[in-house]
Chains A and B, each alone.
Chain A
Amino acid sequence: MRYLLISVLWMVCTSCALQTTKGLRQAPVKQAEVVNPYFSETSIDYVYKAKIDVYGRYFGGILIVKKLSGTSHRVVFTTEFGSKIFDFLYEGDTFTKNFILEDLDKKIVVNTLNKDFRLLITEKVPVVEQYASEKHNVYRTEAEGRYNFYFFRKGEETLEKLVHTSKHKEKVTIKFESLQAAAKTSEENSIAEKISIAHNNIKLQIDLAYLIKD
């Protein structure tokens, strides 16, 4: 009986443990801030071909991200033909919806998009905890009761993964493939060639491919 109780308790506890930190060991916090290198140069127009799958409905478009100044970004999504689908402005903690198609102008849609893109463009966040695995240095940050885990590949220190979680569950996973170049400039360092945003609680997947100019 006692054995059963222990195993039930064990099952409950492991099922509520966060998947993200599985296989990671905690390490002393060595840096005060985690720095997201992507979308961080004001001189670059970050232009992506986007493919979006939402509950099995598929559509494509062009995603444009531009850093305007220290803490402000424009995020605009258009059709391939160029007409705007949405146009968001981020200034520090302030979010402004400049434009969104009437059919998409629903609180849940706007909130989800707002949060996803805020994750992508937020550059500097205070580190709460640090972890390590064989391949990655992992930094945990906190915002509004949610956690973000930044996975940096050891050695190159490139950001490969960002996991947004509640205390117990993974909500959004963003994977990055950084631009392949022989000797990268700081501009090139700020470019993710491919980005995939996967949601766990809603069926929403966004894939982005950087459009390289001739």
Chain B
Amino acid sequence: MNRLLAFILLLVTSNVVLAQEVAMNASEIEAFKQQVNMLSKNTNTITSDFVQYKHLDFLENDIETKGKLAFKTPGLVRWEYTDPYEYSVVFKEDKLLINDGGTKSNVDIGNSEMFKKLNNLIVNSVKGTLFNGDDFLITYTKTKDFNKATFVPKDKKMAQYIASFELLFNTKDGTVKEVKMIEPSADFTRIVFSNRVLNGPVSDAVFTN
């Protein structure tokens, strides 16, 4: 009897899980892409706060770091951790400008295909425009609150580092609410955005380090 109950419970709960997230059909995918592309076209600047959760299966708690993000067209990004340590990276042309609690360094990414792809990934995921890339196999799912695009890298080298990459978009306005990067080991990094401001004034001086 207990076993039967457990079985029914399992069925019910798995149905609930399935009901939460369903695949989009072709026209939904088209509408969703259009919504995101439209928003991206009309976005010149973004500022946002974020909380990053690093999940490792052997830890008691996820490692939580907080910070701020600024974006300006065509491809300027400042990614800054403020708590519990200060660390910022500016993506500018072919360079990463790093300021690690006062220690500054630059990384030339011009020669590195891998870095270029990562850079593209970051810029595009901030803007929400990853949909035309040939580098990933993309699937689309939805719930009543968000649309989700899951990216699986085709490149074998990249697949060593990233099993998949998920972007969650608010259904209402198409803005990115969450990014999740899942490693082949199933450990993941999850970034949740808040206080997003679109097209507010962002000075070029923000993108120096």
A residues within 8 Å of B by Cβ? 43-45, 47, 49, 51, 58-60, 62, 64, 66, 68, 74, 76, 78, 80-84, 87, 98-99, 102, 209, 211-214
Contacts and interface: CB of A to CB of B under 8 A. Distances in A.
Of A43, A49, A80, most B-chain CB atoms within 10 Å = A80
A207 to B, nearest CB: 10
A29 to B, nearest CB: 37
B189 interface: yes
B185 interface: yes
Given A58-B103, A58-B105, A84 B60 contact: no
A51 B102 CA distance: 11
Contacts, number: 66
A45 B103 CA distance: 26
Nearest to B79: A81
Nearest to A45: B59
B160 A47 contact: no
B181 A83 contact: yes
Interface of B: 52, 54, 56, 58-61, 63-65, 79, 81, 84-85, 87, 89, 98, 100-101, 103, 105, 157, 160-162, 181, 183, 185, 187, 189
B54 A78 contact: yes
A179 to B, nearest CB: 15
B58 A74 contact: yes
A128 B79 CA distance: 51
A213 B162 CA distance: 28
Question: 7 closest pairs, A vs B, by CB?
Answer: A82-B189, A60-B100, A82-B54, A49-B85, A45-B59, A211-B84, A58-B105
A86 to B, nearest CB: 12
A83 B184 CA distance: 11
Given A45-B61, A81-B189, A82-B181, A102 B160 contact: yes
Contacts of A81: 52, 79, 189
A121 to B, nearest CB: 14
A122 B105 CA distance: 34
Contact of A60 (B64, B87, B183, B187): B87
B54 A62 contact: yes
Contact of A82 (B52, B85, B87, B89): B52
Contacts of B79: 81
A72 to B, nearest CB: 10
A211 B64 CA distance: 10
A91 to B, nearest CB: 13
B160 A84 contact: no
A81 B100 CA distance: 13
